[in-house]
Amino acid sequence: MGWRGFTFLFLFLSIAVTNIKSDDVVVEVPKNPGDAVWRWECIKGQCEKLPITDGDRDTALSLGACKMFCNEFGNMWPRPSRIELGNNLVHMNRNSFDILLQNTDGPAADLMRSAIRRFRTQLQSVIPPGATVTEGGRTVSINVNIRDNSYIALQLDTDESYTVELRTSSDGRLTGDIRAENFFGARNALETLIQFAIFDDIRSEIQMVGSLLVEDKPYYPYRGILLDTSRNFFSVDSIKRTLDAMAISKLNTFHWHITDSHSFSFVSKSNPNLSKLGAITPYKVYSAAQIIDIVRYGLERGIRVMPEFDAPAHVGEGWQGTNLTVCFRKEPWQEFCVEPPCGQFDVTKDALYDVLQGIYNDMFELFKPDIFHMGGDEVHNECWNSSAEIQNWMKDKGWGLEKQDFFKLWEYFQQKAQANVFKSNNGKKLPLILWTSTLTEFEHIDEYLSNEDYIIQIWTTGTDPEIAGLLNKGYRLIISNYDALYFDCGFGAWVGEGNNWCSPYIGWQKVYDNSPKQMAGAHGNLILGGEAALWAEQADTSNLDNRLWPRAGAMAERLWAEPNTTWRSAERRMLHYRERLVNMGVLADSLQPEWCYQNEGYCYA
Amino acid sequence: MGDSHKLLLVLGILFFIIGNGCSLISEKNGDGRHWLWKCIEGRCIRKLGSAGASVTQSSPESCRLVCGRHGALWPRPTGATTLADRVLTFHPSSLRYDLEYVPSASRDFMEGAIEIFNNNLVKECEGNCTLLSDTILSIHMTVNSDDLSLNWSTDESYSLDLSTKGKNITIQINAETVFGARHGLETLSQLVTSYKATSSVYSVPRIGLIIVSGAKIRDKPIYSHRGLMLDTARNFIPLPAILRTIDAMASTKLNVFHWHITDTQSFPLESPRVPQLVRFGAYSPEQIYHVKDVQHVIREAKQRGIRVLLELDAPAHAGAGWQWGPAAGLGDLAVCWQHQPWRQRCIQPPCGQLNPANPQLYRILADLYRDIAELFPPGEFFHMGGDEVFFPCWNATKQITDLLESRGMGREQADFIRLWAEYQATALRIYDEAAGTPPPIILWSSHLTNPSIIENYLQKDRYIIQTWVPKDDPLPTQLLERGYKIIFSTKDAWYLDHGFWGSTQYHSWRVAYDNILPRFKSVLGGEVCMWTEYVDENNMDSRIWPRAAAVAERLWSDPSSSSKFAQARLARHRERLLRRGVNPEELQPFWCYQNEGECA
C-alpha cells in the first residue's frame, strides 16, 4: 500500500472515531487525511524523526533525503575516496534518463550496455513496492567515457578507479559525466550513481542529487567472498543473487570452493563420472553451460569467478572406484581428517596427474581464470600413512615416514599439480593461491613454494605471527582470518555437542574493524586484499543470504577504503546499505530494530 | 492411437515395474551401479548397488519413511506406532474422503483441513505431481464431538490406521475433536514422500508420491500449551511471513502462536477506537496489522489447530504510539519516552513506560482492550506482558512521585512494586469489563512474580506465569509449589535470539530438544521465543526453524531419549519445511543427511 492507501486508511479511521459517543477522550484527527506524518531533520549530525506540521510541509525531508545530506559520504557504501555533494535534490524523470556511451565499439561497450540495463532495474527498485510515483521531473543525461574499450579481463593490477560528476545545467536538465580507464571503473561509477537516487515518500517522486563529484578507487585489488558449494549445494539463482549483492558492494572476486570431500558437483567434461557418483543428487550439479553463465554474470558485474580445486586433502565423494584416493570414509574419522568424511589423493599414482590435467583443462576452459586456487589445506599425514602402498612408495624413494618425509610427499604432489595447472593455462604461469597450512609455515615455506608463483591465503587468526613471517619472506597475502571473516561461526555444532568450533557468531562490527593494513605493518604492499568465507557445512540456499549479508558488506568497505575509523562512524550508513540489500531481494540479516534506522543516534551501547 | 493413450500405457508399464520392486530410479553411472539407501538398524545407509533397488531404497527420504520405529514422523507419536516397510505410489487426485462420521457442525473445518493437507501433498512433489498411479486412497474421518472451541482442555488425540488391499489404500482417522483429526492428517502427510523416477521411456524425470502401505498410530500430546512467540514490534513482520510461520507450526503440531505485537519501538496493531496508536506508533502506513489482518491470522491459525495468544506488553515496553497524549490534552500516557542517555531509564533504547498516575491512560486502555477482546471468542486467554518494569523511570517522573507522596508512599522498590500491582489490578479489571467473561491472563515472570510477594498481588486462579529464567533457576518450582500454573520459556535453551548479541550463546537444536520440563499438571507447557531486535522477515525462518521443531517434539512427545536419537528425523522434517516454502537453517552437510549416523 502506498501513501494513497494511507489516505483511505485515515478516512476509515476518522469515521470509526466519530462513532464513539460514550467516551469523552479527545481524539486528534489529522487535518489533511493522506498527509505524511513524519519528516526528518538533520540536527547535530543525525536525522531526527519529527512530526510534520502545516508550516514545514513544503520543506519536509524524507528519511532517504535526510540521510543523504546528514550522513558522511552522501550515505554511500562503500565510502568513496573523495566526494563533493551539492545541497539540493531534484525531481528526476525516470522515463527520460539517458546514459550515453561515448565509444560504442569494443567488448567493453557490450558489458556497459548490460551494466546500464542493470542500472535501470536498480532505479526501479528505488520505488517501494506498491508506491505511486509522481511522474515528470528533470531529464537526466550522463556521458560515459571509457579510455580503453578493449580491456575486459580483470587482473590484480586492473585500474578500477572512476569519477562521477553531476550538475544541473542552465536548461534545467541534470547532466553528468562518468570517466574511467576501463569497463571495471565505469561500472563502479554506476553503482555509485544509483546511490544518489532516492524515493521521496512525502512527495511520491524519485529524486536525484543536483550536483555531485565522486573520485574513487579501491585500496586493495582483491576483494572476495568464498562460497563452498560442496558441503551443501547452492542453486544457480542463489549464486547470481550473491553476485548481485557483491556488485553493489564493489567486491570483485567470487572464490568458488566447488569441490570437497562431501560432494563433487562440478560436471567435468574429461571425467564425467566424478559428478555422476559424487553429486548430492543427479540434479544438484553445475553444468558447463551454467558455469559459463555464472562467469559471464560475474564479469558483467566486475567480478572474477575464481575456481578452487582443493587438493590433495578435501577430496572423497565422486572418486569411488578410481583407486586414486586413500582413507575415504575411514573411521574413526578424528584420526584421519578434520571432519567426516575423510579422504585424500593418493599422490603417488601417476594416473592421478592425468585425471587432474583433465579437470584443470575443463576448469580453465570454463572459468578462464587469471588466478587459480589450489586449496592445499588440512592435509593429514595419518591418512597417507594409513596406506601400505604409499608407505612402500616412500620407502622405495629412500624416504622415511616422518613429518618431514610427508612434506616431501606433499611437495611432490604440489609440483606435479602446479605443472598441470600451468599447462592448462596454455603453458603460461599465472598466480596460484594456497591456504595456510603446515606446508606454508614461514620458517620453511621457501623450501617448497616460491613467492613468485604463490599467494598465501591466511585463515588463522588476525594476530598469527605467520602473517608477519610470510610478509618478511616476500609472500603476497589474502586475509581471511577466521576470527573475523569466517561467516559460518556461531551456530550449533554439526558433529558432537555444543556450538561449532569457531563460535561465537561474528558481528558486522568486528568484520568492519578487521584491518589487513594493521596486520601488515611495514609490508602493506604485499597484502592483495581480503576475503570472507562461507563454509557451508551449515548453510545452503535457504540461509545463504543472511549468513553473508550485510556482514560481507562491512568487509567490502574495509577492503575498498581501508578507513582509519571504526564501525562506529560507519553504523548509520551500514543500516542504510542493509536496507538497499533487502530492497533488491537479498534476505539480509537484520542488525537492529527498524526504530533505530528511523531514529539515528539513539541505539548506542 | 493418440498421444494421450501412449502416455497412459507408458505409465501403466511404469507402475507395473515399480509394483514389482524393480528400480527405474536413480541416475546410473557408466558401470551400471547407482546409489541406494538401505535401512539397517534404524539408520538409512547409502551404498552403491549394482542390482535393482526397491522403491524404498531409491532416496534417503523414501528409506527414512519406513526406517526405524518412527519413520519420518515429527513429532514422534506418544502411543503405539507401527509402520509397514513397503510403499505404494499414488497421485493426489486419487484421494477420496469420507466425512460421514464428522458432525455437520465440524464439516467446514474438516474440509479446510483437507484442503491444507492436499496442498501439502502437492508441495511435497515440488508443486506438480507428474507421475500418475491408479492407487486409490480412501480416507475415512471420524470426529465424535461437534465442539469447535480450542483451549487447554481440548482433546487433541487421534488414531490413524492405514491398510492396503491391492491398489486400494484405506485410512481411518478417529478423533474426539476436529483438532485431533487435523493432527491425524498432519501425521498422514508425513507418511508420504516424493520420489523422482527416471526411465528410458521419458527423458525428463517424473516426480510422484509414495505412501507407506500400512500404519497404526495412537497419539496425543503430553503438554497442552505448545507455543512459539514472535515479536513483531522490534521489527515489523509482514503478514505472509506470519502465515508461513503458522504453516510451519502446524507441521510440528505446535498449538499456540504467541504474538508479541507491540513494544517500545513500534505499535503496529490497529485499534479502531484509538487510531493514534498506529498513526504514531507504526514504522510506516504499510507496516500496520489492520483488524482484518489480525482476524485473518486468528482464522488461519485456528484452521491449523493453533490459538493466537495476543500480548500487549505493559506497563513497560511501551512508547511508540503513546506519544500523542499531551497534544490531545490527555497528559503523558507514556513517560521517559526516548530519554537519553537511555541506560538511566530503561534496558534498551528507546525508553518508554506507561504512566500509571494518569487517569486518562485507563480510558485509552479500556478502548484498546475492547478492540482486542472483540477479536477473540469469549474467555480466550490474553497476555498482559508485565516484564522488565524499570523503576528509575517512574522514579524520575514527577507526576508519579507526586502521586506516591500524596498517598504517603515512599520511593523504595516495594513502593514501586505496589504501584505496579495496582496498575495491574486496574488493567485486569478493565480487560475483564471489555471481555465480558474473565479470561485466563498470562504474565511474564518479573519482580512482581517474585515467590515471596506474588501471592499478595496476583491471584493464582486468574494468572498464569510464563517463566523466562534459565534452566537452573528455582523460580518455576517455587511458583508451582505456591499453586501457580506455569508456561516455560527457558531462556538458555529456547530464546532463539541468543548468540548474536552481547555474551549470549547460540542454543543449538540439541540444546532446545534436550530441555526437559517437569511433568506436573500445573505445567501447561512451554514456548520457544523469537525476539526480533536482530531479526526481520528476511532472516526469521532460519532463526526459528528447525529449532522450534525441536521444541515442538519436546512438548508433544516429551521423549525419554535425547536429541541424539532424533537427528535423522529432524533432518527429514527440515527438508519437509523447505518443500513447504520455509527457509530453515541448514544443520549439517547434505552428506550427513544421505549418510545417517556418520556425522556423530
Q: How do residues A33-79 score in pLDDT, each as one tens digit?
A: 345 678 999 999 899 999 888 888 888 999 999 999 999 999 999 99
Taking an 8 Å cut-off on Cβ atoms, the answer to whether A492 and B511 are in contact is yes
- Identify all chain B residues contacting A504, using CB atoms and an 8 Å cutoff: 499, 505-506
pLDDT above 60 for B30: no
Taking an 8 Å cut-off on Cβ atoms, the answer to whether A546 and B538 are in contact is yes
Q: Would you call B473 a catalytic residue per the annotation?
A: no
- Cross-strand bridge partners of residue B488: B467, B526
Q: pTM of the predicted model, to two decimals?
A: 0.89
Which of A350-364, A532-546, B38-52, B282-296 has the lowest average pLDDT? B38-52
CA torsion sign, B576 to B579 to B584 to B586?
positive
Q: Cα–Cα–Cα angle for A320, B595, B210, nearest 5°?
A: 110
In DSSP notation, B517-553 reads: PP--TTEEEEEEEE--TT--TTTHHHHHTTHHHHHHH
- Identify all chain B residues contacting A16, using CB atoms and an 8 Å cutoff: 272-273, 275
- Identify all chain B residues contacting A498, using CB atoms and an 8 Å cutoff: 508
- Identify all chain A residues contacting B349, using CB atoms and an 8 Å cutoff: 596, 602-604
Taking an 8 Å cut-off on Cβ atoms, the answer to whether B589 and A273 are in contact is no
DSSP state at residue B451: T
Q: Measured between CB atoms, which of A320, A499, A540 is closest to B506?
A: A499
Q: How confident is the model at residue A375 (pLDDT cuts 50, 70, 90)?
A: very high
Per-residue model confidence (pLDDT) at position B13 = 38
Which of A595, A596, A597 is the best residue to mutate to test the B interface, defined by the most B CB atoms within 10 Å of its own CB?
A595
* B252 Cβ neighbours under 8 A, 6+ residues apart: B74, B75, B548, B549, B552, B553, B556, B573
Give pLDDT tens digits for B505-533. Answer: 999 999 999 999 999 999 999 999 999 99
Give pLDDT tens digits for A378-426. Answer: 999 999 999 999 999 999 999 999 999 999 999 999 999 999 999 999 9
Cell of B144: 465424535
Q: What is the mean pLDDT of residues A234-262?
A: 98
Give pLDDT tens digits for A149-205. Answer: 999 999 999 999 999 999 999 999 999 999 999 999 999 999 999 999 999 988 999
- Cross-strand bridge partners of residue B174: B142, B159
Cell of A573: 550508513
- In chain A, the percentage of residues whose pLDDT exceeds 70 is 94
Give pLDDT tens digits for A71-110. Answer: 999 999 999 999 999 989 999 999 999 999 999 999 999 9
Per-residue model confidence (pLDDT) at position A2 = 35
Q: Is A128 within 8 Å of B286 (Cβ atoms)?
A: yes
Which of B351, B538, B551, B575 is the best residue to mutate to test the A interface, defined by the most A CB atoms within 10 Å of its own CB?
B538
Residue linked to cell 544443520? B587
User: d(Cα B83, Cα B90) in Å, to the nearest integer?
Assistant: 18
Give pLDDT tens digits for B164-178. Answer: 999 999 999 999 999
Taking an 8 Å cut-off on Cβ atoms, the answer to whether B589 and A596 are in contact is no
Give pLDDT tens digits for A467-524. Answer: 999 999 999 999 999 999 999 999 999 998 899 999 999 999 999 999 999 999 999 9
Q: Would you call B367 a catalytic residue per the annotation?
A: no
Least Cα separation, residue A595 to chain B (angstroms)? 6
Taking an 8 Å cut-off on Cβ atoms, the answer to whether B275 and A503 are in contact is no
Q: What is the mean pLDDT of residues A118-122?
A: 96
User: d(Cα B38, Cα B512) in Å, to the nearest integer?
Assistant: 30
Per-residue model confidence (pLDDT) at position B354 = 98
Taking an 8 Å cut-off on Cβ atoms, the answer to whether A590 and B586 are in contact is no
The residue annotated as part of the active site, out of B91, B317, B339, B383, is B317
pLDDT above 90 for B2: no
Give pLDDT tens digits for B47-56. Answer: 888 666 688 8
Per-residue model confidence (pLDDT) at position B51 = 60
Taking an 8 Å cut-off on Cβ atoms, the answer to whether B30 and A496 are in contact is no
Q: Cα-flanking dihedrals φ and ψ of residue A533, to 5°?
A: -115, 130
A318: closest chain B residue by CA: B29
Alpha helices in B472-528 (DSSP H): 475-481, 491-494, 509-513
The residue annotated as part of the active site, out of B85, B388, B432, B585, is B388
Ramachandran class of A124: left when φ > 0, alpha when ψ lies in -120 to 50, beta otherwise: alpha
Q: Would you call A579 a catalytic residue per the annotation?
A: no
Q: What is the mean pLDDT of residues B29-43?
A: 79
pLDDT above 70 for A11: no
Taking an 8 Å cut-off on Cβ atoms, the answer to whether B599 and A340 are in contact is yes
Instruction: Return mean pLDDT, chain A.
Output: 92
The number of residues making up chain B comes to 600
Per-residue model confidence (pLDDT) at position A35 = 53
Q: What is the mean pLDDT of residues B222-246?
A: 98
- In chain A, the percentage of residues whose pLDDT exceeds 90 is 88
Q: Cα–Cα–Cα angle for A297, A302, A308, nearest 5°?
A: 70
- Identify all chain A residues contacting B506, using CB atoms and an 8 Å cutoff: 490-492, 499, 503-505
Q: Measured between CB atoms, which of B285, B578, B591 is closest to A341?
A: B591
Q: Measured between CB atoms, which of A272, A282, A499 is closest to B508?
A: A499
Instruction: Return mean pLDDT, chain B.
Output: 92
Q: Are strands B206-212 and B168-175 parallel, antiparallel or unpaired?
A: unpaired
Give pLDDT tens digits for B102-119. Answer: 999 999 999 999 999 999
Taking an 8 Å cut-off on Cβ atoms, the answer to whether A320 and B48 are in contact is yes
A271: closest chain B residue by CA: B30
Least Cα separation, residue B396 to chain A (angstroms)? 20
pLDDT above 50 for B17: no
ipTM: 0.83
User: d(Cα A336, Cα A320) in Å, to the nearest integer?
Assistant: 18
Q: What is the mean pLDDT of residues B540-559?
A: 98
Which of A10, A27, A283 is the best residue to mutate to test the B interface, defined by the most B CB atoms within 10 Å of its own CB?
A27
Give pLDDT tens digits for B259-292. Answer: 999 999 999 999 999 999 999 999 999 999 999 9
Per-residue model confidence (pLDDT) at position B10 = 40
The residue annotated as part of the active site, out of B61, B156, B247, B263, is B263
Q: What is the mean pLDDT of residues B385-397?
A: 96
- In chain B, the percentage of residues whose pLDDT exceeds 90 is 87
CA torsion sign, B546 to B547 to B552 to B553?
positive
Taking an 8 Å cut-off on Cβ atoms, the answer to whether B328 and A27 are in contact is yes
B363: closest chain A residue by CA: A25
Q: Is B242 within 8 Å of B268 (Cβ atoms)?
A: no
